[in-house]
Amino acid sequence: MTSEISQMNLEQLLEAIRTCTRCALHSGRTLAVPGEGPANATIMFIGEGPGFHEDRQGRPFVGSAGKFLEELLASIGLQREQVYITNVVKCRPPGNRDPLPNELEACRPYLDRQIELIGPKVIVTLGRYSMARYFPGQSISRIHGQARQVGGVLVVPMLHPAAALHQPQWKATIEMDFKKLPAIIAQAERLSPAEPPPSPQQLSLF
Ligand code: SF4
């Protein structure tokens, strides 16, 4: 199945997610939440997993965290329709608990293929679980807002908007990190896709 996923086009991939039974999360979902945005988006945001409202609507970031994300995007002149938004697990964990390692692993090929097909130049990870995909063992409080080059992509870890929303200090932190994005996007546009560096490398610019 993993090899089948790696051959799918975007439409097939989204449909496979909607009917997926690869992990136990499928049994409690109302709707899977594959993700949404332009098929050639320059920026991709990767959150954790669907919450209550996302599970009901089948769309990512539609509750209060989604509204905050839209405000953050607006603060740098972007609308959510211009970016791709998805999560590391596509079905809601019961009671909004953290996703389990086996669930993250089962869902990983979908996100791998999504990234491959969309080919963003900047990936913003929102929260610990998507950060760990690129920077395992790192502390988000230490590396948030710092762009690092991973292959031909700049990856920027940020706090999760849901966590930041009600904590004044964290809210200010994510707002400041978002302000760095236009410069990071401009930097990413200048990177050649053929450029090698395979390992995360911190850019001194940011
Ligand atoms: Fe499939 Fe991912 Fe949903 Fe698990 S969380 S059932 S792997 S789509």
Residue type, 185: I
Nearest CA to ligand 1 atom 7: 107
**In this model, does residue 121 exceed pLDDT 70?**
yes
Residue type, 105: E
Q: Which of ligand 1's atoms lies nearest the C-alpha of 49?
A: 5
Specify burial of residue 151 (Cβ count, 10 A radius: 0-12, 13-18, 19+): middle
Q: Which residues have C-beta atoms less than 6 Å from ligand 1?
A: 17, 20-23, 25-26, 32, 89-91, 103, 106-107
What is residue 183's three-state secondary structure?
A: helix
**In this model, does residue 127 exceed pLDDT 90?**
yes
CATH code 3.90.1150.10 for 33-192: no
pLDDT in tens, 41-81: 999 999 999 999 999 999 999 999 999 999 999 999 999 99
What are the extents of the domains in the chain? 33-192
What is residue 205's three-state secondary structure?
A: coil
**In this model, does residue 195 exceed pLDDT 60?**
no
**In this model, does residue 136 exceed pLDDT 70?**
yes
